[in-house]
Amino acid sequence: MLHRDIKGSSLLINKNGILNIADFRLLNYCSPKQKQPLTSRVVILWYEAPQLLLGASFYITGIDLWSAGCLLAEIFAGKPFMLGKDYWKKLKLSTFQPPQTYKPGPFEAFRTFPEIALGLLTTTFLALDPISRGYASSALQNEGRT
């Protein structure tokens, strides 16, 4: 299943630290063999995976893992990982050129994160290749490793 709208307000954590996911308005069945295209306009821009920004209409659960990675980075950094339209406009995605002013990449900016969080971000959640993001189960299997 694809949630397609993972954001901070969709995550509910109780006083015991138990996470519940809410807001299933954009939930959709996911199959690697799907023939029906899906919309690329699903998530708040801050948490939107690169392939959605580029207009992909066939995608798998990696889009939710990207969103989860952005939220994880936001939790540890105390601020959003990518600031919506301002961030993406600076990237000039249509020409794939870096922003004019250099800002540290995520792995430089977040080098103070706990090792396990940085490992998950770099190897699973924020992998640019959607297939490399795998599934939530791959993130759980990565627990304790970098």
Selection from 11, 21, 136, 14 nearest residue 75 by Cα: 11
Distance CA 46, CA 55 (A): 16
Catalytic residue among 5, 64, 86, 129: 5
Contacts of 32 (CB under 8 A, 6+ apart): 60
Distance CA 59, CA 40 (A): 9
Q: 5 catalytic, yes or no? A: yes
Torsion angle, alpha carbons of 121, 89, 129, 71, to 10: 30
Active centre residues (catalytic): 5
